[in-house]
């Protein structure tokens, strides 16, 4: 596709969207970082990959969450879903030192100014979008979401928190390097599969009711982790979970992980197998 001078970047405003002749974006990305169209920025990479799949992608960098939320409304709603990342860094590491002192600058914000994103940015952005557009699916990803996909110790509040899927109310989590997962996912959507029925893509996580059924790969082995409630009750249960998660993360063929939280189950599909030389070429 030939791109003119007004469409070299992913659009960030309604004026730029109109200049492209779009009625509505297919996907709107929200990022805690400034928009830098470079492969070291995950939002830009995912945006370009979705664009290559034929989707119309817009991006909202560092939306203001403290005013009337106009940044979350300015592009309207996408046809397919919202996508959220806190940015290249976990927002809490971005904001605080190991001694919990507030940092004075932000390397991923223009002029290095601090305060352009909230604490726990993924949670904040997702809850705002879910409140404004309750019927539009939300996909979360990036380092902040990846590290919190199951019960995790939150250093900043000194407590165990449940999967970030609980606090964000997100419909899907893509963990790790999400390029292949997001492509396989959107291809399913383009083939006509409803969003919430796409539950067999590797390197994704989602919530289901404890008694609910969902489509899965029957060849995947499963591992039931200790529930969130069991982790709160006994520290050793959390330690055992941590060991299993680390072991599965380093396997050539990992297992699907399942963790209970109240009346829900968190399903974490295994990661993609490593590329071999033929596939990498």
Radius of gyration of the chain (CA): 19
Q: How many domains are there within the chain? A: 1
Q: Does a structural domain hold residue 178?
A: yes
Q: Does 4 fall in a domain?
A: no
In a domain, 1, yes or no: no
Asked whether residue 24 is assigned to any structural domain, the reply reads: yes
H helices then E strands: how many in the chain?
Answer: 11, 11
- Which tens digit of pLDDT belongs to each residue from 122-131? 999 999 999 9
For residues 270 and 256, give the distance between their C-alpha atoms in angstroms, rounded to a whole number: 5
Condensed to tens digits (0 to 9), the pLDDT of residues 52-65 reads 999 999 999 999 99
Taking a C-beta distance cutoff of 8 angstroms, is the pair 53, 81 a contact? no
**If you average pLDDT over residues 105-109, what whole number do you get?**
89
> Tens digits of per-residue pLDDT, 248-275?
988 888 999 999 999 999 999 999 987 7
pLDDT at site 81? 98
pLDDT for 277 equals 55
Mean pLDDT of 80-109: 93
Domain range holding 46? 14-280
In a domain, 6, yes or no: no
What is the bridge-based pairing of β-strands 152-154 and 159-161? antiparallel
pTM of the predicted protein model? 0.93
Indicate the Cα dihedral angle 95, 98, 102, 103, nearest 10°. -60
CATH of the domain at 272: 3.40.50.280
Q: Tell me whether residue 2 is in a domain.
A: no
pLDDT band at 7 (very low <50, low <70, confident <90, very high): low
154 DSSP β-pair partners: 159
Backbone angles phi, psi at 273, to 5 degrees: -65, 155
Is residue 25 in some structural domain? yes
- Please report the pLDDT score of residue 280 as a whole number: 46
């Amino acid at each position: 596709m030939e791109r003119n001078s007004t469409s070299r970047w992913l659009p960030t405003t309604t004026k730029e969207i109109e200049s492209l002749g779009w009625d509505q974006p297919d996907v709107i990305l929200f990022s805690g970082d400034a928009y830098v169209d470079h492969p070291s920025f995950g939002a830009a990479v995912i945006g370009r990959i979705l664009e290559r799949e034929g989707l119309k992608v817009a991006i909202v960098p560092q939306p203001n969450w403290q005013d009337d939320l106009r940044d979350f409304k300015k592009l309207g709603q996408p046809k397919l879903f919202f996508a959220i990342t806190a940015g290249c860094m976990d927002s809490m590491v971005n904001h605080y030192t190991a001694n919990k002192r507030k940092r004075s600058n932000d390397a991923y914000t223009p002029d290095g100014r601090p305060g352009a994103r909230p604490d726990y940015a993924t949670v904040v952005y997702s809850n705002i979008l879910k409140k404004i557009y309750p019927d539009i699916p939300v996909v979360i990803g990036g380092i902040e979401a990846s590290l919190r996909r199951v019960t995790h110790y939150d250093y900043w509040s000194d407590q165990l928190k449940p999967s970030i899927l609980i606090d964000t109310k997100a419909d899907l989590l893509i963990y790790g390097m999400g390029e292949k997962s997001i492509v396989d996912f959107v291809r399913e959507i383009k083939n006509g599969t409803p969003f919430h029925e796409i539950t067999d893509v590797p390197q994704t996580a989602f919530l289901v009711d404890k008694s609910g059924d969902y489509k899965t790969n029957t060849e995947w082995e499963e591992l039931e982790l200790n529930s969130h409630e069991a982790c709160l009750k006994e520290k050793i249960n959390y330690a055992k979970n941590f060991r299993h998660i680390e072991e599965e993360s380093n396997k050539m063929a990992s297992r699907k992980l399942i963790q209970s939280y109240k009346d829900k189950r968190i399903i974490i599909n295994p990661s993609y197998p490593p590329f071999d030389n033929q596939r990498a070429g």
